[in-house]
Structures are given as structure tokens and as C-alpha cells.
Amino acid sequence: MQIRDVMTEGVVTAALAASVREVAELMRERNVGSVVLVDQGGNPSGFVTDRDLAVSVLADGRDPGDPAEGHASTPVVTGSPEMAVEEAAELMVAHGIRRLPVLDGGRLTGIVTMDDLAVRTGDLELAHHMTSQIARAALPDFYFHVRGE
């Protein structure tokens, strides 16, 4: 199975100059948890998630008028539509990411999330592997905490 079989084709994007508030409003209006920031040529340049907004904007008391670019994750790791689902999963695990924008000939054509891979493939073993590995990458202190000290 290839990424094209499980990806979502409607990618929510915003310009690099978009404000944090504009990105948050896009997330609300489109009911998504992330927005890909694109440059003038439409190339993915950053990635803003709802968690980014909560942790680096709201919790830090930042101005909602700030450019979202300053709170985006970079560089953007991407896949291609022909990529095998297992290959995409390993790429996501290797980079500790839950979302993978899909480029076809340099054009942003879709996005695949960890949830997409789990639900749309029906491969519970793949889902479990990805979930545990990405959680370990995101929370190393939790998994590698020396107990009793």
C-alpha cells in the first residue's frame, strides 16, 4: 500500500507571514490540528500544530499577532505519494513526527498522519509500533527516567 492510498488530499496551509491568530482560526474553521506554512512558491517551510500554539504561544503569553513562522517546526520532513506506507511510518518514527506532508513533483498534494496510517491501513501492529516509538522520542525523560533517585 502506498501513501497516496491513505493520505488526505486537502492540506490546510497558510502563508509564512500569517499571524498566530490567523493560523489558530484556520485550525478551528477547518477542524484540523495542524497547518503547513508555505512560502510564496507554495513550498512547505514550517509546520504549526495546535500543541505548538498552546505550549509556545498561549502558555508563554505571546502576542497572537506574532508571525506563526516564529512558532513553527522546521525543517519540514516530507514524503512522496509512491512511498510505501511502511517506509513512511519508519520515516515518521525516525524523525519523531506525527504528520508527514506529501509532495508530488515538488508540489504539496497531501498529508498523512499517524492516525491515518493506523485507521486507514487497518494495521494495528504498525499503529502500535509507531505510537510507542514516537512517544518515546517525544518523552525521553519519561521512558529513560532512573527510578528511585
Walk across the sheet containing 34-38 and list its strands.
Answer: 13-15, 34-38, 44-49
pLDDT of residue 148: 44
Is the model more confident about 107 or about 114? 107
| pLDDT over threshold 60, residue 88 | yes
Q: Is the pTM of this model over 0.85?
A: no
Identify the band that residue 127 occupies on the pLDDT scale cut at 50, 70 and 90: low
Q: Read off the C-alpha cell for 48.
A: 504549526
| Range name among 40-44, 63-67, 102-106, 123-127 with the lowest pLDDT average | 123-127
Is the model more confident about 113 or about 19? 19
pLDDT of residue 55: 81
Q: Which of 44, 34, 39, 25 is nearest to 103 (CA)?
A: 44
d(CA 9, CA 12): 10
Identify the band that residue 57 occupies on the pLDDT scale cut at 50, 70 and 90: confident
DSSP H or E stretch at residue 34: strand 34-38
pLDDT of residue 138: 53
Mapped onto helix, strand or coil, the DSSP state of residue 82 is: coil
Is the model more confident about 125 or about 129? 125
Query: How many angstroms from the chain centroid is the CA of residue 14?
Result: 14
Count of CB atoms situated within 10 Å of the CB of 76: 20
| pLDDT over threshold 70, residue 146 | no
Mapped onto helix, strand or coil, the DSSP state of residue 131 is: helix
